[in-house]
A and B are shown apart, each in its own frame.
Chain A
């Protein structure tokens, strides 16, 4: 917008908002240290066990990686296609449902009716215990499910692009944003139509699936699976963007579209790749999110969308590393904010962090490098 000033070297006088935010963060950190040490000075300090803090941080990291994974795709469509894609959350849901449908079939085909398995227990009378999907008992099913989530969501994202977004490539970001709200409605309620509106549990239980770590931290097998899977996918994404010709073309497109077109980059092919990679990662993250929460509902991705936006904005739109880091920050804000505020405000706290960053540093906390 015309009224914003260009960035100069920030001083306290020029940017009082940043100074206040930094001061506030320092205060919170000092308070956290005081709490850990068990010092109490009026409203300051209190008591907090290392175990609680470490478990908050760990849970934040796990959920943050899932959000960050979903954020990569949102960030890519934002920078390459220039619009805020409100249907991204519902791609996350698609990955959850289709991936778990496939995982169930692999885990229990032959023992339970196929309809119940494919619809993730939407039909029939099958309990999660009957299917018994768990990383320790049915690792192959969980793995195949993850791949299926990626592939099916990627194909759907591509199909949605061909049907709905391609005809309006040259339109403004706001028009595309509004169209994406329409796409979100279509996808979300087709999911409800097919899989039903009921929220339900998915994973089976296995004895001794949790491991003890130092600082009183307990980590369960699914959390470990999520971290490993998310980091692997992120590393693969890093490789594609940095080492392949396609990745270079994508980075060029997001950096300067006109320049990229002049140099002969096949724009439509890059756009297709963006949807495949971004949609696939969204699907995978939805699958992993269900593994984390152990329940699934038709609109879980939509409810997650604002947190994903928060992660992307925090990291700076266009940067996949920013999205990952932003996801982890949002995840940790989400879980550790309960140390200071009641737990019914933790989501609000994450949104508040997002709004603060947008206002003080719209280019993202990591400097807004819009390449890669």
Chain B
């Protein structure tokens, strides 16, 4: 850090900077738009479901933003085409689960019974370690081979966690387990204990009583569980800010500029005396640790994890779509891409589909063949809106193709990315912070 950057920006300054360049404003604006549309879609169902839907949308937006930020470090900054994100997330979540779970649980596999923070750090460390093992040999490969290797690794991780033999082996040797295909229950969320003593539903803490009394069932009438989940969403928002600040600062450091140099031309970076291999290994490990943390914050908060529906390669592609929509290389773009992907492409279509379905006055044919055979546009639309899930993926695919055709640089691409240590444009405006 010493030779290049003038003075290390404080975290607050980076935030203010973001707001000034209206990045934060952009994110809040998007979120506001999403909220307005979501409210319009559900306001007739009452306050409870509006608040609940907004929570779901914000939660998904933020976890995708976290994952997209982590992937952006690999793909956007360094040009490492890692399509094994799901695997690294699984490693983080499972390690956290094993470290924190009680050694003698009522149901599910036993663990080490250590405190939650230890578990989170262990999860990140393990994800970084697996990243190291993957990176050591694989980083020498061409980008497309590297992609296939990381995809293979993520599948090997998933199949291993899925395997009952591996579970039995762990139980016999270390007396811990993964739960195999049945999955593993996650430790209870500490946010819940902020509101409820010991997490028990009928025993609120002082803070709990205050919140439940004003906004919850004793006041405005929002379900208490939704309020607790909202509190967790604020924790996630905090983590998004931490990720953002960390990655922004990393990107502006000499290390970050080396990353971008590697992305643009590896040979040149190598010739200029940068230790390309070492830098790549480091950045791969950092990114994997962040992916592990994102996985923990996401899946670790959802009660139960199991390898097969949750950590399929499709998850990785979702996160990729988020990064690509936002624009690879831009952290704000990643946050924005995460939010847009989760709301407009992931959760939005099914909500809109079910609202549309209610407006169509026709019976739903049981299958596509019946829908076609009915020769009635109404019935066909009924089938389409009832089966919106596959169509939503078709839309996702079309968006991805469209982005690659028309705007491969993403929504926020086309911005000028400063490679210099000091902001050159600021200097011309008179400069308030130059030496």
Dominant SS among interface residues on chain A: helix
Contacts of B399 in A (CB 8 A): 182
Q: A164-B401, A178-B400, A186-B397 are in contact. Are A123 and B159 (CB under 8 A)?
A: no
Q: Does A358 touch B at the CB level, under 8 Å?
A: yes
Query: Quick one: CB contact mask for B138-178 with A, threshold 8 Å, 1 for yes?
Result: 10111111011101110110011011111000000000000
Nearest CB of chain A from residue B363's CB, rounded to whole Å:
15
Nearest CB of chain B from residue A164's CB, rounded to whole Å:
5
Nearest CB of chain B from residue A53's CB, rounded to whole Å:
21
Count of A interface residues, CB-CB < 8 Å: 56
Contacts of B396 in A (CB 8 A): 182, 185
Looking at A193-201, A214-222, A261-269, A277-285, the stretch in contact with chain B turns out to be A193-201
Contacts of B246 in A (CB 8 A): none
Q: Does B222 touch A at the CB level, under 8 Å?
A: no
Nearest CB of chain A from residue B32's CB, rounded to whole Å:
29
Q: Select which of A123, A183, A347 is within 8 A of B366 by beta carbon.
A: A123
Chain B interface size, as a band, is 35 or more
Q: Select which of A123, A168, A175, A185 is within 8 A of B368 by beta carbon.
A: A123
Nearest CB of chain B from residue A185's CB, rounded to whole Å:
3
Q: Does A189 touch B at the CB level, under 8 Å?
A: yes
Pair A3/B140 contact, Cβ less than 8 Å? yes
Pair B368/A181 contact, Cβ less than 8 Å? no
Pair B144/A1 contact, Cβ less than 8 Å? no
Q: Select which of A3, A164, A174 is within 8 A of B276 by beta carbon.
A: A3
Tell me the bound Cα distance from A239 to B310 in angstroms. 45
Select from chain B the residue with minimum beta-carbon distance to A78.
B144
Select from chain B the residue with minimum beta-carbon distance to A116.
B369
Contacts of B354 in A (CB 8 A): none
Q: Does A362 touch B at the CB level, under 8 Å?
A: yes
Q: Select which of A173, A183, A193 is within 8 A of B143 by beta carbon.
A: A173
Looking at A137-145, A150-158, A349-357, the stretch in contact with chain B turns out to be A349-357
Nearest CB of chain B from residue A301's CB, rounded to whole Å:
14
Q: Select which of A83, A122, A173, A351 is within 8 A of B155 by beta carbon.
A: A351
Query: Quick one: CB contact mask for A105-122 with B, threshold 8 Å, 1 for yes?
Result: 000000000011011001
Contacts of B384 in A (CB 8 A): 193
Tell me the bound Cα distance from A175 to B148 in angstroms. 15
Tell me the bound Cα distance from A174 to B317 in angstroms. 14
Pair A119/B369 contact, Cβ less than 8 Å? yes
Contacts of B151 in A (CB 8 A): 306
Nearest CB of chain B from residue A177's CB, rounded to whole Å:
6
Pair A1/B405 contact, Cβ less than 8 Å? no
Contacts of B138 in A (CB 8 A): 355, 358-359
Pair A168/B394 contact, Cβ less than 8 Å? no
Pair A358/B394 contact, Cβ less than 8 Å? no
Contacts of A186 in B (CB 8 A): 393-394, 397-398, 401
Q: A3-B276, A309-B148 are in contact. Are A355 and B165 (CB under 8 A)?
A: no
Pair A359/B320 contact, Cβ less than 8 Å? no
Centre residue among A84, A176, A178, A345 by max chain B CB count within 10 A = A178
Query: Quick one: CB contact mask for A283-310 with B, threshold 8 Å, 1 for yes?
Result: 0000000000000000000000010011
Tell me the bound Cα distance from A199 to B149 in angstroms. 29
Nearest CB of chain B from residue A128's CB, rounded to whole Å:
17
Q: Does A348 touch B at the CB level, under 8 Å?
A: yes
Select from chain A the residue with minimum beta-carbon distance to B81.
A174
Give chain B interface residues in 65-115, CB to chain A under 8 Å. 81
Contacts of A347 in B (CB 8 A): 155, 159
Pair A183/B148 contact, Cβ less than 8 Å? no
Tell me the bound Cα distance from A118 to B144 in angstroms. 38
Q: Does A129 touch B at the CB level, under 8 Å?
A: no
Contacts of B142 in A (CB 8 A): 1, 362
Nearest CB of chain B from residue A166's CB, rounded to whole Å:
11
Tell me the bound Cα distance from A83 to B81 in angstroms. 14
Select from chain A the residue with minimum beta-carbon distance to B138.
A359
Centre residue among B153, B266, B390 by max chain A CB count within 10 A = B390
Pair A182/B404 contact, Cβ less than 8 Å? yes
Pair B387/A193 contact, Cβ less than 8 Å? yes
Q: Select which of B166, B372, B408 is within 8 A of A175 by beta carbon.
A: B408
Select from chain B the residue with minimum beta-carbon distance to A343.
B165
Known: A182-B400, A189-B397, A348-B160. 5 other contacts (CB 8 A): A1-B142, A3-B270, A182-B404, A342-B165, A354-B152
Q: Which residues of A contact B (CB under 8 A)?
A: 1-4, 83-84, 115-116, 118-119, 122-124, 164, 167-168, 171, 173-179, 181-190, 192-197, 306, 309-310, 313, 342, 344-345, 347-348, 351-352, 354-355, 358-359, 362
23 A-B pairs within 8 Å (CB atoms) are namely A3-B140, A3-B266, A3-B270, A115-B370, A119-B368, A123-B367, A174-B144, A175-B408, A177-B147, A178-B400, A179-B400, A179-B401, A185-B396, A186-B397, A194-B368, A196-B367, A344-B159, A345-B160, A348-B160, A351-B156, A352-B156, A354-B152, A358-B149
The 5 closest A-B pairs by CB, nearest first: A185-B397, A182-B400, A115-B369, A123-B369, A186-B397
